[in-house]
Amino acid sequence: MNMPNLSTSANASADLMEKIVSLAKRRGFVFPGSEIYGGLANSWDYGPLGVELKNNIKNLWWKRFVQQRDDMVGVDAALVMNPKVWAASGHLATFTDPLVECKKCNERMRADNLPEDLKCTKGGQHEFTEAKQFNLMLKTFLGPAEDDANVAYFRPETAQAMFVQFKNVLTTTRKQLPFGIAQVGKSFRNEITPGNFVFRTREFEQMEVEYFIPQPKSDEDWNKYFEMWRVEMNKWLSDDLKLNMDSVHEAEIPEADRAHYSKRTIDFEFDYPFGRKELYGLAYRGDYDLKSHQDASGESLEYTDPHTNEKYLPHVIEPSLGVDRSVLAVLLSHYHEDPVESKDSTGQAATRIWLSLPAKLAPYKAAVFPLLKNKPELVAKAREIYDELRKHFNVAWDDRGNVGKRYYSQDEIGTPYGITVDFDTLEDNTVTIRHRNTMEQERMNASDLVARIKSKLED
Ligand code: GAP
């Protein structure tokens, strides 16, 4: 496997990022948002293959983190909540980034993350104002009147609904501690410096768990759950996303850099081409949120221990994962370029670009090719096989060009199997199945294809 080395030179890294953005657009994973109107800075739309990849990631996460556990349940809450939620959670007061503005060119930047090269477009160096705190919540108005009474905010994290609905979930599910609530959905932040493709955008998706634990009597009492989720997050990265784990690093965040609610945070960082940066976070939020909402709403959010009848506010461990950063890390980790012996039409040595996506993540699990598209009996047989496979998983159809080109085209989008239907298929129902990773081909009975491909989905 020829994996471009992410840490070689700055040029190679920039190059890899360009290749990923270009592949994403060329093959329909991610398009620039509002492109026909000149785009909207840092907004991206997931295309036909991107939505499949993204859904596969979210569904796998839901399966691992919710459905396969006895101690988890899910919710799907409104994006806009009562503004009192954000006053209580501390977001209105503290969800801010320090912002500076150049007095000459008016460019705005995050004061805590200024680039080394501070050249101003109006000449010389930037001349910055004093830093002021800028709230990152995206404001809107509910109803026709745009006045203070109707101000509302798009949620900056999915987390708060899980605290606000804690009592309802507890009452309806009769769960006992420890147990968690999970949610997947959009969050919005008016980021000062979005960028690096889908890494930092103003609208993004999160997969979050709020895991409620008994009130700890010692650090060990919460640390064991923190550790359990740390291990789970690593399993997700290595077993489900199958990332190159040499590119993943855990960073203990010092108190001064932690969010206002956190008593301990570990960032899972990834070696992106633009540097080592946050992929996910794991935080111990104590009872900060339940206490804040209990105080602000006047509603008791206490839990009654069924054994001791003791009433108390549970504490919370929070694994928080970004969907879009998962997509980016998956594309980067699974991108390969291999030289191939045949030359292309210009006589240049050709390159095979391929994505080693786990079958579970691949937009298509297989592609079906009739050897020749002008032979109706071949096309009909291929169509029959395609329709049968489609009952079980997502399958591509391609009848353009020669079969070799079709294999390469599917390699580029990570389809694990290519299935060619030829004249022998009409005689004995066998097909050629070609494996993406090894490029090996074998002959097998078409009636065994479903079982073969399904077994790959278990890997
Ligand atoms: N509830 C905790 C929370 O929201 P966070 O570290 O601010 O914590 C969690 O965000 C995850 O959400 C990040 O690790 C990242 O994966 C993703 N994320 C945060 N801001 C993002 C942005 N502007 N664009 C894309 N993903 C973002």
Query: Residue 228: inside a domain, yes or no?
Result: yes
Ligand 1 probe mutation, 206, 208, 262, 264, most atoms within 8 A of CB: 206
Residues 280 and 380 in one domain: no
| pTM, rounded to two decimals | 0.94
> Is there a contact between 222 and 216 (Cβ–Cβ < 8 Å)?
yes
Domain ranges, residue 393: 342-456
Nearest Cα neighbor of 182 from 88, 82, 84, 318 is 318
CB distance 289 to ligand 1 below 6 Å: no
**pLDDT for position 346:** 65
**pLDDT for position 6:** 39
**pLDDT for position 10:** 63
Residues 306 and 396 in one domain: no
Backbone φ and ψ of 60, nearest 5°? -65, -40
Q: What is the pLDDT along the chain (459 residues), one digit of tens a residue?
A: 444 433 345 677 779 999 999 999 999 999 999 999 999 999 999 999 999 999 999 999 999 999 999 999 999 999 999 999 999 999 999 999 999 999 999 888 989 888 778 889 899 999 999 999 999 999 999 999 999 899 999 999 999 999 999 999 999 999 999 999 999 999 999 999 899 999 999 999 999 999 999 999 999 999 999 999 999 999 999 999 999 999 999 999 999 999 888 999 999 999 999 999 999 999 999 999 999 999 999 999 999 999 999 999 999 999 999 999 999 999 999 999 998 876 656 666 689 999 999 999 999 999 999 999 999 999 999 999 999 999 999 999 999 989 999 999 999 999 999 999 999 999 999 999 999 999 999 999 999 999 999 999 988
Residues 263 and 369 in one domain: no
Ligand 1 probe mutation, 30, 86, 204, most atoms within 8 A of CB: 204
What DSSP letter does each residue of 61-76 carry, written as one string? Answer: HHIIIIIT-TTEEE--
Long-range contacts of 295-304 (CB under 8 A, 24+ apart): 295/88, 296/84, 296/87, 296/88, 297/84, 297/88, 299/167, 300/167, 301/163, 301/166, 301/167, 303/170, 303/177, 303/212
CATH of the domain at 404: 3.40.50.800
Q: Which of 310, 331, 352 is the last residue of a domain?
A: 331
Backbone φ and ψ of 232, nearest 5°? -60, -40
CA–centroid distance, 50 to ligand 1, in Å, is: 20
Separation in Å, CA 298 to CA 92, 162, 212, 293, 314: 19, 17, 20, 8, 17
Residues 400 and 295 in one domain: no
